[in-house]
Amino acid sequence: MTTGRAVMFLNLAAVVLLLGVRRLHGSALPAVSSYEFTAYRMQQFNLAQHKHGCRGAIVVAEARSADEPSLTRRCVIMRVQDFTSQKYFEAQRQNAAAVLILLPRNTSSIPHGTIQSFMVSESETLQKETLMPVYVAPEDEQLLYMYEEIKQAAATRTSSIFVRVLRSMVTATAFQILVSNNAPIKAVTDNSVITLEGVLPGSVEDAPTIVITAHYDSYGLAPWLSFGADSNGSGVTILMELARLFQKLYSSSSTRPQYNLMFSLTGGGKYNFLGTKRWIEENLDHAESSLLHDNVAFVLCLDTLANGDELYVHVSRPPKPDSPMHAFIQLLEEVVSSRFPSVKVGLIHKKINLVESTVAWEHERYSLRRILGFTLSHVEDPKSELRGSMLDTMSQVDFRRLKRNGIIVAEALARYMYNLSDKGSPKEVQVFKGQLDFQDSRISSLMSFLTSVPRATQLLDKEPGHMLLVNSLEHEFKRYLQQVYRHTFRQDKRDPDITFFDQMNQPVVMYRVKPAAFDLFLGGCIAAYLGIVYYAIQNFGHLYTKLKAAVKPKHQ
């Protein structure tokens, strides 16, 4: 009887202890113990013998906040609001296992200053290569839960040593990040770059040609999250509207000017304007007849035009006073001063450095072949972070300014081609109004279409949805232009101009687990329980006698 009571007593004690430990183990964990999501790896490419982006992909590490003092062999989790180049390089210095950036699904709620700060850090991060895997994942409820947990864990570093140890052993939740792809990262050199070309023929033979061009690809930290609204969805949108409006003028012999108007949409613009380079070579070196062979008045490149109250004219050499380019720039300033006096127009002269293997602006590709050209942009510095960021989305586009810039370009072109100033037309005259006006709905639709999928160069000839975008642009060209050609340039696999790499999107598993300290705590609890059991069995008779004596007075 005594032995049976002893066993019952010890079993009850064990159950109470295990329930307590289980409660401590599960109190901080949500119902789901693991969660799988897709993350997008940082850019990885080789361009002109320079390596950019991250070279690693595999991650097996515990998640930690960037505020933790020790990040070695940890996966550092940062939101856009936290991410700075200082924190990124500190994680690199401490040999962190990886960096995971959480990107908001709606960037319109992010303060402008935070966006600017992130863009600057993003640009600095992409300048050099790193072996540390860097991933970006769109935020969701589970990832934000993890983020808050590890932030709270980092905050306890300022608590007392007792609180820190207790939380670490009992209440804290650790998160294990796992990217396990055993396949090695492979180089991709079979990418093709597509350039579209279309013409509105002038009213006379051997007419001079004006070329209007824009690159259509995007750039950012992660290719799969780079939508390029301002850079350069804005340039493509204005170009497509110019093609539509001038097609109406060219459709009638009475309003057709004595200029050929050539339009081109080029690929590979974010990678040294590879599509532009190959297109010029094909037209000048490999084609028997081309409008670029003949009299080219100037080339107008449209790049990043959806914001700001500044319009910068970027040139490789100052235009001569009697040149067509000089005349057009004067008319551009005339349109701005008469209709949009709040806009500032500036001329920026930047010589081409022949020692460098890359060019800053698209017009430099033409300048190298002695064709006069310039780039129109609201960006002053060609290295500006605005020209390549994951946060360059529709929410950052000012449609009023985008339309205004399109009107400025269109009116200046019309005044130049129809020689309106020399004919005595008032400076305030508007060519594009009524049925010839820029349509708000079309501008919005074009921009929505262009930002519906990421337009990174390495995706545009691989993914069906991305290929559809280029096909749709070609369809629009055929709708308004003549002599539309699609030029597909493939790289030499033995000596490619640019080398991309695969595994740009990966499945990631996040496990919710207890930290290693909890195992020590649980082991201590079990050892204590076994010690109590052993002591109780050895001395149960003595303990039972004392317990019985203590209970008897109560019953009496």
Reduced to 3 states (helix: H, G, I; strand: E, B; else coil), residue 445 is helix
CATH placement of domain 191-490: 3.40.630.10
> Which DSSP symbol is given to 277?
H
pLDDT confidence of residue 26:
41
Question: Which tokens belong to 259?
Answer: 């200029």
Separation between Cα atoms, residue 370 and residue 372, nearest integer Å: 6
Find residue 79's DSSP bridge partners.
102
The pLDDT score that the predictor gives to residue 292 is 87
Residue of 244, 266, 189 lying closest to 455 (CA atoms): 266
Task: Tell me the longest C-alpha to C-alpha distance in the chain.
Answer: 126
CB 267 within 8 A of CB 216: yes
So what's the pLDDT on residue 181? 78
CA angle centred on 348, ends 342 and 351, rounded to 5°: 170
Number of H helices, E strands in the chain: 14, 20
CA distance linking residue 354 with residue 351, whole number of Å: 9
Which residues lie closer than 8 Å to 33 by C-beta, 6 or more apart? 511, 512, 513
Q: Among residues 375, 355, 380, 379, which one has the least CA distance to residue 364? A: 375
> How many Å apart are CA 490 and CA 497, to the nearest integer?
10
Chunked into runs of 10 residues, the chain (556 residues) has average pLDDT values of: 49 49 43 84 90 93 92 95 95 96 91 94 92 96 92 70 52 80 86 95 93 97 96 97 97 94 96 95 84 90 97 96 95 95 96 88 96 97 94 95 97 94 77 91 96 94 87 97 95 86 93 68 78 76 73 60
Q: Is residue 76 left, alpha or beta, with left meaning phi > 0 and alpha meaning psi from -120 to 50?
A: beta
Domain boundaries, the chain: 1-30+523-556, 38-186+504-514, 191-490
Question: pLDDT per residue over 95-119, tens digit each?
Answer: 999 999 999 988 888 999 999 999 9
CA distance 246 to 186: 46
What pLDDT score does 21 carry? 44
pLDDT tens digits along 380-436: 999 999 999 999 999 999 999 999 999 999 999 999 999 987 767 777 788 999 889
* Residue of 42, 107, 55 whose CA lies nearest to 79: 107
Are the CB atoms for 64 and 150 separated by under 8 Å?
yes
221 near 39, Cβ under 8 Å?
no
Q: Which residues of 318-353 are buried (b: 16+ CB within 10 A; e: fewer)?
A: ebeeeebbbbbbbbbbbbbeebbeebebeeeeeebe
pLDDT of residue 172: 54
- pLDDT given at position 499: 92
